Chain A
Amino acid sequence: LAKTTQPISMDSYEGQEVNITCSHNNIATNDYITWYQQFPSQGPRFIIQGYKTKVTNEVASLFIPADRKSSTLSLPRVSLSDTAVYYCLVGDPGYSSASKIIFGSGTRLSIRP
């Protein structure tokens, strides 16, 4: 599974758009990029998954450039409840199964009023 690098922490304010970038230079052809959110003392929660270009759902957008060596999770108009740790993961769900997930250190996002 490809190693990922993301900022250790980020701060922002309510109502702002937050972009968290993840580097994955050795991503393989069959790898997908997945982001999870984790609150203290809870299990991680799936946010979004993509392979290339742009993916959008009701909570976030995921931007992936053509070379796929990085990706950016975009959270529109954050609120205090978005304060959490965000993990970027890269892997081939068809081969290794999504359940064998290697988590990096994650990005601790703090939202202020």
Chain B
Amino acid sequence: KAGVTQTPRYLIKTRGQQVTLSCSPISGHRSVSWYQQTPGQGLQFLFEYFSETQRNKGNFPGRFSGRQFSNSRSEMNVSTLELGDSALYLCASSLGPGQGMNTEAFFGQGTRLTVV
């Protein structure tokens, strides 16, 4: 079956602009999470969505937001971009909570965002 698809793969934006990233989870997966990865901070959790509802949120400013659609596809938006937002943004999908042992998360290839 198809894996997690993130678009676009690469993006260059200017400070102050906004950006929207997209994530299509594996078919049947209802939980989608977003992560930011930078060399200095490593992998940091942004937020998690399940059945169109945000269930968890990491410690990021309000400029970072997201949503999930009825087909489980998710988007994240970053407004008023700063140079420090340059990172690899990863999306992960899983079946959802309460699935017991088989709850591995499948990650996409990520979107490389560069803010200049």
**Which A residue sits closest to B107, measured CB to CB?**
A43
Asked whether A102 is an interface residue with its Cβ less than 8 Å from the other chain, the reply is yes
- Chain A's interface size range is 20 to 34
Is chain B's interface secondary structure helix, strand, loop, or mixed overall?
Answer: strand
Interchain CA distance A45-B44 in the complex, whole Å: 16
Residues A43 and B110 in contact, CB atoms below 8 Å apart: yes
B21 within 8 A of A: no
Q: How large is the interface on B (under 10, 10 to 19, 20 to 34, 35 or more residues)?
A: 20 to 34
Question: A36-73 vs B: 1/0 string, CB under 8 Å?
Answer: 00000111111001010000000000000000000000
Known interface pairs A41-B112, A94-B99. Does A101 touch B105 (Cβ–Cβ under 8 Å)? yes
**B residues at A contact (CB < 8 Å):** 4, 31-33, 35, 42-45, 48, 50, 55-56, 88, 90-94, 96-101, 103-110, 112
